[in-house]
């Protein structure tokens, strides 16, 4: 009886560990980061090669992130107006402290209300 009880406790313990690990993963539709700062690339970077090897264009829906894998699709939502855009990670950055993303100008302009301001507070979800 004691062995069965111990065995059941071990199963319950491992089930709890597996459940907590799987819930911490960022799968489709899960929030990756909330209320973080995003900026956009200056036009002078058009045509430059990104860290992924792609040619950068401010007219594409792309973003730079420090650690997420190239090709990762993100849903970026402006906290102030709830507008969102889907972008692909194709570069490393931003290189400014406290910023989470450097969006292409097109992506930034699609979700901002103030075209004269260079940063936004956003929520980020990993969609692919």
pLDDT in tens, 10-42: 454 444 333 343 333 444 568 999 999 999 999
More confident: 101 or 6: 101
Percent of the chain having pLDDT more than 70? Answer: 77
Confidence of residue 2 (pLDDT cuts 50, 70, 90): low
Q: Is the pLDDT of residue 124 over 90?
A: yes
The span from the CA of 70 to the CA of 74, in Å, is 11
pLDDT recorded at residue 30:
84
Q: Which pair of tokens denotes residue 81?
A: 């107006």
Q: Give the closest residue to 92 by CA, choosing from 115, 111, 68.
A: 68
């Amino acid at each position: 009886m004691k062995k069965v009880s111990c065995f059941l406790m071990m199963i319950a313990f491992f089930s709890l560990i597996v459940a907590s690990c799987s819930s911490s993963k960022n799968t489709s539709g899960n929030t990756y980061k909330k209320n973080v700062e995003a900026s956009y690339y200056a036009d002078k970077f058009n045509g430059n090669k990104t860290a992924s090897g792609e040619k950068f264009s401010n007219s594409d829906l792309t973003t730079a992130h420090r650690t997420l894998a190239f090709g990762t699709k993100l849903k970026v939502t402006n906290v102030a107006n709830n507008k969102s855009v889907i972008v692909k990670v194709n570069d490393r950055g931003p290189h400014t402290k406290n910023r989470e993303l450097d969006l292409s100008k097109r992506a930034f302009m699609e979700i901002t209300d103030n075209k004269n301001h260079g940063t936004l507070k956003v929520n980020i979800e990993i969609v692919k």
